[in-house]
Amino acid sequence: MAEDALIVIDMQNDFCPGGALAVEGGDEIVPVVNRLTEQARHVILTQDWHPPGHSSFASSHPGKAPFETITMPYGEQTLWPDHCVQGSAGADFHPGLRWTSAELVVRKGFRTEVDSYSAFFENDHKTPTGLAGYLRERGITKLRLCGLATDYCVAFSALDAVAQGFSASVVLDACRGIDLNGSLAAMMERMRQAGVQIV
């Protein structure tokens, strides 16, 4: 029987109300995520983990404001408020999240020069996090994804999961989106076309 895992994406304080890059209603999904975690055979978490002065921070680019875009060597990059700085309270998991059963925490975005949305690759789409290899070695083939934010880290993780040969579904009740310039509808369509199941 195919082994399956739950991947909980970036349930961190900075992405919840009151945080530096808050997703509206981000904290509302914590009980749903906890229920999914209790039911899952394998649980993996991702954690955005930026060094101070990260290249995706608007503050690293004089004259630029959060949510503007710039061109990086790997393509277009949205600039963000400083968030999920390594060791900060904002980078911690939400205090209500029950995550002690997690077998692995994948930290991403720790390379200063490249951002990372996906649990599988940095935004250059070449530098792997090692998650695909870990899952293959464990014999895990089916993934359920939830967390923050639907249209960024969850969606890019789901798209990469399918591209890497895994079966992937996104549990919408356990996600919240940013919806920057119509990004939510666009990424939902991209996921459907790629074969990600939306449940």
Q: Tell me if residue 198 falls in helix, strand or coil.
A: strand
Does the N-terminal peptide bond of residue 149 adopt cis geometry, omega within 30 degrees of 0? yes
Q: β-strand 43-48 against 3-9: which pairing, if any?
A: parallel
Find, among 88, 99, 134, the residue nearest to 8 by Cα.
99
Q: CB under 8 Å to 112, separation ≥6 — which residues? A: 51, 53, 54, 55
Whether 160 is catalytic is no
Whether 153 is catalytic is yes
Task: Please pick, among 108, 115, 146, 175, the residue that the annotation labels catalytic.
Answer: 108
Task: Please pick, among 48, 153, 160, 175, the residue that the annotation labels catalytic.
Answer: 153
Token pair belonging to 83? 């968030």
CA distances from 81 to 59, 93, 183 (A): 7, 18, 18
Residues serving a catalytic function are: 10, 108, 153
